[in-house]
Amino acid sequence: MQANELKIKVMVLGCGLVGKTIAGDLRKNFEVTVVDFNTEILKEMNSNGFRTLQADLSDSNTIKEIIKDHELVVGAVPGFIGYNLVKAVIEAGKNIVDISFFPEDQFTLEQLAIDKGVTAILDCGLAPGMGNIILGYHNANMEVHEYECLVGGLPVEREWPYEYKAVFSPGDVIEEYVRPARFVKNGGIVIREALSDPELVNFEKVGTLEAWNSDGLRSLLKTMKIPNMIEKTLRYPGTIEYLRVLRDTGFFSSEQIEVKGIMIRPVDLTSKLLFPKWKLKPGEKEFTVMRIIISGIENGDRVKYTYSLYDEYDPEAKQTSMARTTGFTCNAAVNLLARKKFDQKGLILPEYLGTDRDNFEFILNYLKERNVDYQMKRGVE
């Protein structure tokens, strides 16, 4: 039975660049309603034939009310309201796939999801998300010794002064630059400051990029017993220097300071100033690059799997690459739930989705059909 024959109602909470892409793709098979607080965004979506609803998605009671007639919910809001949104959806007894990457501990929602008998798939985007799914598959089929994920999204044209554009809210991007990075080395968790251990890495079609420690392992730190795991963020060379200057000066601080008798958080001002500088122009080309290396023992051999992704802005669909690579991964999970290919209850991390070969191949094929194609190479060492 196909998903469109099920007439399943899906509500997408949050309609930024990624939320729009998620909604547009899901509409092919589901009855989709998009929800946001921004009336201009909703007006645009409505003009394109979407069912729309304006609502304050920071209010738990509002969320519970608007989702009551929908079988599935997708969370695509900024991280700072993501945790409370997911909690409200679980309390309402609805299944959810979420990409908000909120900073709070996901596992505090585990018992609630079990008690409510719902499936809550969290962090189901690009990284975290697809990287976890790939690792989950290989961890179920071999003895993994090392996992490395390098990932970033960048504009094709390097424009002074930042050579960067954001498809997520500036606050969520800044969080990557201040949140301590956790990785695993020789079986122990190491904590370093964000932007640490920079290295230059070469990528086909892109050239040389700068990589640094970021806190992208998230749930893998708890769910995987792998001796060496690390994730690094990619930017154009030179980025780390100005980010450190801004951070160490205090521009990313959440501690309030007094300015002419008014208390403000520096990070709020910084986000306000950076948004127009980081905003993509209409039709501006950007790309996503990702490299995942998994090595260990498989059937007695020392092997290394390398997954490579290069994806660009889709001018025909007017979809950013980061929205595509993030949103389509999310939607693959939505389809798994809708088609009852995955029915495990409780808190579900993306690595759990990858443990089943059929589901893993379904996700890869779902992405490939949308021209998000992960190239895999296997080598024997």
β-bridge mates for residue 74, sequence order: 12, 97
How much of the chain, in percent, has pLDDT values that exceed 90?
90
| 4 pLDDT above the threshold of 60 | no
| Domain boundary pick from 288, 312, 336 | 312
**What is the predicted pLDDT for the residue at 324?**
97
Residue 259 lies in a domain: yes
**CA-to-CA dists, residue 10 to 72, 201, 258, angstroms:** 5, 41, 45
Q: How many CB atoms lie within 10 A of CB 228?
A: 16
pTM as predicted: 0.94
The count of domains in the chain is: 2
**Looking at the structure, do residues 296 and 168 belong to the same domain, yes or no?**
yes
**Looking at the structure, do residues 81 and 179 belong to the same domain, yes or no?**
no
**Containing structural domain, residue 216:** 130-312
Query: Once rounded to an integer, what is the mean pLDDT over residues 148-161?
Result: 95
pLDDT band at 143; cut points 50, 70, 90: very high
Q: What is the CATH number of the domain that holds 65?
A: 3.40.50.720
**Looking at the structure, do residues 195 and 336 belong to the same domain, yes or no?**
no
Residue 275 lies in a domain: yes
Strand, helix or coil for residue 1 = coil
pLDDT band at 25; cut points 50, 70, 90: very high
Q: What is the CATH number of the domain that holds 262?
A: 3.30.360.10
44-99 tens-digit pLDDT: 999 999 999 999 999 999 999 999 999 999 999 999 999 999 999 999 999 999 99
**What is the predicted pLDDT for the residue at 173?**
86
Residue 232 lies in a domain: yes
| 170 pLDDT above the threshold of 90 | no
**Looking at the structure, do residues 137 and 263 belong to the same domain, yes or no?**
yes
**Looking at the structure, do residues 138 and 105 belong to the same domain, yes or no?**
no
Checking DSSP bridges between strand 143-155 and strand 181-185, what pairing results, if any?
unpaired
Residue 259 C-beta-side C-alpha neighbours within 13 Å: 7
Task: Return the sign of the alpha-carbon dihedral for residues 338, 344, 347, 353.
Answer: negative
pLDDT band at 2; cut points 50, 70, 90: very low
Query: Once rounded to an integer, what is the mean pLDDT over residues 27-31?
Result: 94
**Looking at the structure, do residues 114 and 158 belong to the same domain, yes or no?**
no
| Domain boundary pick from 312, 336, 357 | 312
**Looking at the structure, do residues 146 and 43 belong to the same domain, yes or no?**
no
Helix (H) or strand (E) holding 36: strand 31-36
**Looking at the structure, do residues 154 and 269 belong to the same domain, yes or no?**
yes
Mean pLDDT of the chain: 94
Residue 379 lies in a domain: no
Residue 294 lies in a domain: yes
Residue 161 lies in a domain: yes
Helix (H) or strand (E) holding 207: strand 207-213
Residue 381 lies in a domain: no
Residue count (the chain): 381
| Domain boundary pick from 283, 312, 341 | 312
Instruction: Report the C-alpha gap between 360 and 218 in whole angstroms.
Output: 20
**What is the predicted pLDDT for the residue at 6?**
59
Instruction: Report the C-alpha gap between 243 and 247 in whole angstroms.
Output: 6
269-314 tens-digit pLDDT: 999 998 888 888 888 999 999 999 999 999 999 999 999 999 999 9
**What is the predicted pLDDT for the residue at 1?**
41
Query: Once rounded to an integer, what is the mean pLDDT over residues 188-209?
Result: 96
Residue 353 lies in a domain: yes
**What is the predicted pLDDT for the residue at 175?**
87
**What is the predicted pLDDT for the residue at 169?**
72
114-139 tens-digit pLDDT: 999 999 999 999 999 999 999 999 99
**Looking at the structure, do residues 276 and 341 belong to the same domain, yes or no?**
no
**Looking at the structure, do residues 210 and 234 belong to the same domain, yes or no?**
yes
pLDDT band at 5; cut points 50, 70, 90: low
**Looking at the structure, do residues 77 and 210 belong to the same domain, yes or no?**
no
**Looking at the structure, do residues 182 and 166 belong to the same domain, yes or no?**
yes
